[in-house]
């Protein structure tokens, strides 16, 4: 009987820890970089940074892209924005202005981890794009928008509730 009691006591001590998150497990953030000159004078590009953060998520996958709005011709954010590959964000820096639809240019400037994790640190985008997309009225605002997957491939195919978007600083081109 003593052996059964000791066994049950040992099991009771283990039960609260089963299924609980590890208190020291690393969490991550996919941070947007700045809009910077590209490889040629006629292009711009950006970057994403995967960093350890106590307020981050368990996932290390996602990516980011350069996105733009036309200052005189911006559109309010609606359900068609994300369907068309856009992202809803504030018109101005920080939390300023209305929510508008930011667009990817025809020549994307991005870095994505489609099937694996991002590397810790900063990763530049794979290519640059022109700061003046054809047919877009000036001035044009650019920023890096990052997406962190909370479920596999959620940034590409999943619902917005399974992603974390972050918005970089705005750079305006006249």
CA distances from 67 to 18, 78, 131, 133, 173 (A): 43, 17, 10, 11, 13
Which element (helix H / strand E) includes 8?
A: helix 2-14
User: Would you kindly state where each structural domain of the chain is located, as residue ranges?
Assistant: 22-173
**How many angstroms separate the first and last alpha carbons of the chain?**
84
Res 22: pLDDT? 55
Res 23: pLDDT? 61
Cα 67 from Cα 110, distance rounded (Å): 10
pTM for the whole thing?
Answer: 0.84
Res 96: pLDDT? 77
80 against 170, higher pLDDT: 170
Phi and psi torsions of 50, nearest 5°: -95, 120
Confidence check: pLDDT of 124 > 90: yes
Confidence check: pLDDT of 6 > 60: no
């Amino acid at each position: 009987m003593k052996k059964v009691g000791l066994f049950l006591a040992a099991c009771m001590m283990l039960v609260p820890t089963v299924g609980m998150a590890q208190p020291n497990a690393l969490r991550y953030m996919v941070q947007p970089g700045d809009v910077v000159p590209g490889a040629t004078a006629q292009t711009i590009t950006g970057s994403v940074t995967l960093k350890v953060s106590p307020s981050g998520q368990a996932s290390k996958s996602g990516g980011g892209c350069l996105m733009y709005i036309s200052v005189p011709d911006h559109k309010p954010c609606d359900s068609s924005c994300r369907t068309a590959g856009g992202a809803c964000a504030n018109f101005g820096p920080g939390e300023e202005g209305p929510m508008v639809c930011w667009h990817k240019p025809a020549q994307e400037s991005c870095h994505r981890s489609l099937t694996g994790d991002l590397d810790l640190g900063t990763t530049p985008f794979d290519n640059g794009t022109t700061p003046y997309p054809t047919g877009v009225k000036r001035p044009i605002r650019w920023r890096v928008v990052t997406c962190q997957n909370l479920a596999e491939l959620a940034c590409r195919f999943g619902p917005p509730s399974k992603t974390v978007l972050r918005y970089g600083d705005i750079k305006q081109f006249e």
